Amino acid sequence: MLYATNIVVAEQGYANSTVADIIAKAGVSRATFYELFSSRDDCFQAAYRANAELVAALMANELEQVRDDKRDPLDRLDRVLGVYLRLLHDVPALARVFLVEVYAAGPTLIEQRRSSLERFVDIVAETHRGEKGVLGTQPSQRFASQAFVGAVSSLVTNCVGAGDIEGLLDLRKPLMRLAAQITSK
């Protein structure tokens, strides 16, 4: 049902989606839906949490893959950013729900989105763990990681909101140039 919720909300928008739409897409009964969820909002919150966990897990997994080899921190960041952009590109319904429709779902989901962004900041900071410079895990370096994630979030949300899914992949190089400029300070 979470997958069906993603598809319905991505196609119709959060405000226009109904339980009837979700159960029709999922091919389940209304009784089954209400055995699992108390409302459309409850189902959407579960779908958003699953999306957020998937995005964070894939990025963290990529970070683990490159953490201990002798890669440059910017190369580690590039690999993690690449996973993020590729996932959003390859699963546009997830991208729309995760980045755009979440803001129509009210304060609880907006808080979940904020938490997702903080997890993204943590991952970005980890790409530069132990490094001197602006990005990193030290409290004095966190603002730069937050600013970078803010830039990424704004740009990817604009692409997805405008329906420019192909443009997501085009963001990688300019975002990495931005990261290089941030870290060279």
pLDDT in tens, 31-56: 999 999 999 999 999 999 999 999 99
Q: How many CB atoms neighbour CB 110 within 10 A?
A: 13
Q: Does domain 41-183 have CATH number 2.40.160.40?
A: no
Please give the structure tokens belonging to residue 86: 């590729």
The number of residues making up the chain comes to: 185
163 three-state secondary structure: coil
Q: Where are the domains of the chain?
A: 41-183
Q: What is the mean pLDDT of residues 127-152?
A: 81
Q: What gap in Å lies between CA 82 and CA 79, rounded to an integer? A: 5
Q: What is the pTM of this model?
A: 0.89
Question: Above 70 in pLDDT, residue 166?
Answer: yes
- Residue 56 and residue 120 in contact, taking contact as beta carbons nearer than 8 Å: yes
- Interval 100-113: pLDDT, tens: 999 999 899 899 99
Distance of CA 68 to the CA centre of its chain: 24
